[in-house]
Structure formats: C-alpha cells, structure tokens
Copies of this chain bind each other. A is one copy, B any other.
C-alpha cells in the first residue's frame, strides 16, 4: 500500500507498472468496476488492500454488456470522485481505459459461458454475460493479478466468472465478497441512483420478499408457492414487473424444484424504469 493513486489508461502502461511490482515480489489484487463506486465496491477494495501488497481498481463502463435498450448512455460516471475515494482507501493504481483501448479496431473475439450464462439474467439480457465474460477475461489477462474481487450482489456474474476462470486456466483466485446493504436492506447498487423517492421507499421489499420466501421454504412451503407469494408481495408494494424469482443450486444456478440443503434465491424486478436485482443464500 502506497500513498498515491496512479491512473493509467493503456494496457501497455498497466503492464509496465504491474511488471515492476512483480519483479519486487509484490502480490497484486484486482477490483474490476464500472465506477459510480459505493460501499459495496469499497468492501471489495478494502479486502484486496488488506490481502495484497498492491491493489489495482479498473474503471470501465463496458459497452458490450449493455443491450441496445439498456442504460449505457446514462450509466452514472464520476471518475474524479471515484479516484479520490480509491486513493483514500489505499488503492495503488486506477486503470481507466477508453473504449477504443479495450476494443481496438476490428475486435470481434467473444468469451461465452453457455449454460450458466443463459439462465436468469442471461434470459432477460441476451448477450449480457458474453459481454461480462469477455471484458473480465481481458482484464484478468491484461493484469494477471494474484486475486480478483467480485461482489455477491451480482451472484450469477460471480458464478460465470468462476466458471470462465477455471475453464480458461486463468491463474487467479476469484474472491467473492458479501452483499453490502442499506440499513433497510436494499442491496447497494450504482443503479439505485435512478430511483425516485417513492421507488426508493418500495425498493427494500425486494430483499424482504427473498427473506420471506426463504422462511417459507425453511418451513416446508413448496418452491412454486413461495415464489408466487414473493412475486405478489413485490407487485403489491409498487414493483411494476418481476422478471424472475428463482430458487437455484448455488453453483450451477439450475432451478430447484425441491430444496434440501444449500440454495440461492435470486430475483430481478422493475420499479418503473429501474431494474433491481438481489439474492440471498439459504440452507434448509
């Protein structure tokens, strides 16, 4: 941990600095982000800073993981504030490349994780996980860190990244970090900034609905009725659409019909134009 945050914008500069650290035998942690940093990101950063001699945070709003009707153009961006917050937390290097640096002329190569990448979010956001897998593979190859940190907020993303890291033999430990929540239970997300005051009041119901379904399952309720009750609860408090509430195997994310042991409950639902996701672990 050093006192200054250096900012680099090219892969060549990133590699030069990382190579000098490696030569000194320093361990390296990578925290990939799309910026608009909040306490969820900072929990990843703090874990990396504690574990590794040097921490790199990447800031790249990856166009390949936004659909044509999604919020790429309005996604919140504030690099100056993000950089200051990272410096204060002991991050050593911010890698903030332009789109042209990440996807040079004629770039076409895609990393796909079929199966687990097609379920849930993958069904509602076609191409999303191919975009995520491609940029994460690139970031991991560019920096070859000892460890890379991802939040359980994007639980399916975490599963996809663990899968591709193993499948492509990337020599990095994927470290997952628990969801950070507001006092009322709402999972922190850069997209919470989109919520109106009214929607912000309704938003914690997503977490509550998952907890309610978890209790019901633990008490012997069936999967279908637990999901139906949680869906009704969300629509009742003002959610406008429920993309899915699903009870899944915690590794494969295949949907379970009967829960016996560990499972993951995952949900995606809309408050007006804002789409929120959340998940919890259960063990029945």
B104 A108 Cβ-Cβ under 8 A? no
Chain B residues within 8 Å of A107, by CB: 166-167
The docked-state distance in angstroms from the alpha carbon of A10 to that of B85 is 43
In whole angstroms, how far apart are the Cα atoms of A104 and B164 in the complex? 12
Contact of A168 among B109, B144, B169 (CB under 8 A): B109
Q: Which residues of B contact A166 (CB under 8 A)?
A: 104, 107
Q: Among the listed stretches A37-45, A113-121, A220-228, which one makes contact with chain B, having 4 or more residues with CB under 8 Å of it?
A: A113-121
Q: In this complex, what residue of B is CB-closest to A113?
A: B109
A115 to B107, CA, bound (A): 10
CB contacts (< 8 Å) of A142 on chain B: these are 169
Q: Does A191 contact B (CB under 8 A)?
A: no
Within A166-199, the residues touching B (CB, 8 Å) are 166-171
- Taking the nearest CB of chain B, how far is it from the CB of A11, in angstroms? 6
Is the beta-carbon distance between B138 and A168 smaller than 8 angstroms?
Answer: yes
User: Which residues of B are found within 8 Å of A163, using beta-carbon distances?
Assistant: 106, 108-109
Q: Is A200 an interface residue (CB 8 A)?
A: no
Q: A138-B168, A141-B169 are in contact. Are A115 and B111 (CB under 8 A)?
A: no
Structural contact, A164 and B115, CB atoms closer than 8 A: no
Which of the residues B104, B110, B170 comes within 8 Å of A112, measured between beta carbons? B110
Q: Mark A99-134, 1 if CB is under 8 A from B, else 0.
A: 000011011111111111000000000000000010
Q: What are 19 of the A-B contact pairs (CB < 8 Å)? A: A15-B171, A104-B166, A104-B167, A106-B252, A107-B167, A108-B167, A109-B112, A109-B113, A109-B163, A109-B168, A110-B112, A110-B113, A138-B167, A138-B168, A138-B169, A141-B168, A141-B169, A141-B170, A141-B171
The 5 closest A-B pairs by CB, nearest first: A109-B167, A109-B164, A107-B167, A110-B112, A142-B169
Q: Which residues of A are interface residues toward B (Cβ below 8 A)?
A: 11, 15, 103-104, 106-116, 133, 137-138, 141-142, 144, 163-164, 166-171, 252
